[in-house]
Amino acid sequence: MVITLHPVQTEADKRAFYNFAFRVYQDDPNWVPHLWPQRKAYLDRKAAFFTYGEGEFWLAKEDKEVIGTIGTAVNHSRNRDIGIKTGTFGFFEVLPERYDAAKAMWDHACDWTRSHILNELQGPVSFAGEDDHGFLVEGFETMPSVMMAHTPRHYHQFAERYGFEKTLESLAYRFDLETINFDVNNGPQAILHIAERAARRHGTNVIRIPKMKDWDSEVERLHAVYNKSLAVLPEFSPIELAEFRAQAEGLRQIIDPELVFIAEIDGKTAGFALGLPNINEALLYANGLRYPWDYLLFLLMKRKIKSASFKIMAMDTEYWGYGLDAIMYLEMGKAIIRKGYTWIDASLTGEDNPQTNKLLKRAGAYVYRRYREYRLVL
């Protein structure tokens, strides 16, 4: 039968688009469904991404049967900042025996990208800068931590068969706290010494937790630091404030203020560290929060979370070398141990980030998941 691509338009289309993933992963015990409310915001084009980019969603069908899903997009902000003409694909799902469907969807994505006068297709990313980066290439036997994608083995195989080339690999590390007997003083001595010197120089009040009652102002301060900290990277595009706000708001209900640390020097925000309860341990049982009763099971399982995820360490380049990052590493470790977590996920970091990779390995962490992003010159 002929495979055709249909735009997602009706409410029934949106449900079909979302629900197809449940068919793909029905036998995968490690898959954590994306939350229906968040996915629907994209399908309704109400996500922050649509304030600075454009995108469409497609159902691959054989006769009337859905056999795949894909989204195509242009991040106008990133293209403008870097001076490129790139389209992206994401929201990609397809059954393992259906390379023909994958090919049809990528053919369509290439045509869509060319029609927007662009010369390269990259992905997967769905669609914002922090959403579902890459196809999983290592760690299929593990469960993804919070803000981490999970894809079957055949996705990266299909991409390489189609002709996509690797652009970047991102790594997720795991650190078992029993390695240091649940005491940060047993961790890397270099970090302890740097933190001690920094505390003597800058005082004991240089690090604080966020003021949740001052949420909007706090988010703005952290947004500025986040962009400054990453501006040194090649092809960096500043994250739009609307996107940063939206992502922060999406985390607001799960943030534990005692796992967020803000460094300040002379009243100026110098950096921050973000840790999160690994909420995926509870969401694994929550069915994507598709129905009201799913929330009850989620709340029950939330009490049994055993891990935390260290997501971000951002430092204004003006304060590099001050030792504030070492203080925040230690404070994060102390808080995670105090709260009874048994292991830490640290994700994601690029394989080409020598300092972070070196630090994590010296601390005793090891890579447990690896993701690959791709490009195709058109």
Question: Average pLDDT of 64-85?
Answer: 96
Q: Which of 312, 243, 250, 246 is nearest to 76 (CA)?
A: 243
Give the H or E element holding residue 307: strand 307-315
> Residues 36-58: pLDDT tens digits?
999 999 999 999 999 999 999 99
Report if residue 245 sits inside a domain.
Answer: yes
Q: Kindly indicate the confidence band of residue 292, based on its pLDDT and cuts at 50, 70 and 90.
A: confident
Report if residue 375 sits inside a domain.
Answer: no
Q: Is the confidence at residue 253, as pLDDT, over 90? A: no
> Residues 274-290: pLDDT tens digits?
999 999 999 999 988 88
Question: Average pLDDT of 339-356?
Answer: 92
Is the domain of 135 the same as that of 261?
no
Point out the domain boundary residue: 130, 154, 171.
171
Q: Kindly indicate the confidence band of residue 89, based on its pLDDT and cuts at 50, 70 and 90.
A: very high
CATH number of the domain residue 88 falls in: 3.40.630.30
Is the domain of 133 the same as that of 41?
yes
Is the domain of 295 the same as that of 362?
yes
Please compute Rg for the chain using Cα positions: 21
Across 323-344, b (16+ Cβ under 10 Å) vs e yields bbbbbbbbbbbebbbeeebebb
Q: Is the confidence at residue 255, as pLDDT, over 90? A: yes
Point out the domain boundary residue: 151, 171, 191.
171
Report if residue 306 sits inside a domain.
Answer: yes
Is the domain of 167 the same as that of 215?
no
User: Which domain, by its residues, includes 197?
Assistant: 174-369
Per-residue pLDDT at 115:
98
Give the burial class of 97: count Cβ atoms within 10 A of its Cβ; 0-12 exposed, 13-18 middle, 19 or more buried.
exposed
Q: How far apart are CA 340 and CA 342, in angstroms?
A: 6
Q: Is the confidence at residue 204, as pLDDT, over 90? A: no
Per-residue pLDDT at 75:
96
Report if residue 142 sits inside a domain.
Answer: yes
Query: What is the tally of structural domains in the chain?
Result: 2
Per-residue pLDDT at 288:
86
Give 183's contacts (C-beta < 8 A, 6+ positions apart).
Answer: 337
Is the domain of 166 the same as that of 195?
no
Report if residue 114 sits inside a domain.
Answer: yes
Q: How far apart are CA 269 and CA 68, in angstroms?
A: 45
Is the domain of 209 the same as that of 350?
yes
Give the burial class of 357: count Cβ atoms within 10 A of its Cβ; 0-12 exposed, 13-18 middle, 19 or more buried.
middle
Per-residue pLDDT at 202:
94
Q: Kindly indicate the confidence band of residue 327, based on its pLDDT and cuts at 50, 70 and 90.
A: very high
Q: How far apart are CA 246 and CA 251, in angstroms?
A: 9
Is the domain of 270 the same as that of 140?
no
Is the domain of 87 the same as that of 212?
no
Letter for the amino acid at 47?
A: A
What does each C-alpha distance from 173 to 12, 85, 359, 360 come to in angstroms? 39, 33, 11, 8
Q: Is the confidence at residue 131, as pLDDT, over 80? A: no
> Residues 55-74: pLDDT tens digits?
999 999 999 999 999 999 99
Q: Which of 249, 250, 252, 274 is nearest to 261 (CA)?
A: 274
Per-residue pLDDT at 227:
95
Is the domain of 161 the same as that of 182?
no
Report if residue 205 sits inside a domain.
Answer: yes
Q: Which of 334, 352, 345 is nearest to 367 (CA)?
A: 345
> Residues 165-177: pLDDT tens digits?
999 999 999 999 9
Report if residue 74 sits inside a domain.
Answer: yes
Is the domain of 137 the same as that of 190?
no
Give ∠ CA 58-63-64 in degrees, rounded to 5. 65
Q: How far apart are CA 168 and CA 373, in angstroms?
A: 5
Is the domain of 229 the same as that of 361?
yes
Question: Which pTM was predicted?
Answer: 0.94
Q: Kindly indicate the confidence band of residue 232, based on its pLDDT and cuts at 50, 70 and 90.
A: confident
Per-residue pLDDT at 40:
96
Q: Is the confidence at residue 130, as pLDDT, over 80? A: no
Is the domain of 213 the same as that of 332?
yes
Point out the domain boundary residue: 171, 201, 223.
171
Q: Kindly indicate the confidence band of residue 235, based on its pLDDT and cuts at 50, 70 and 90.
A: confident
Q: How far apart are CA 41 and CA 348, in angstroms?
A: 24
Q: With beta carbons less than 8 A apart as the criterion, state whether 137 and 9 touch.
A: no
Average model confidence (pLDDT) across the chain: 95
Report if residue 120 sits inside a domain.
Answer: yes
Q: How far, rounded to the nearest angstrom, does the alpha carbon of residue 27 sit from its chain's CA centroid?
A: 24
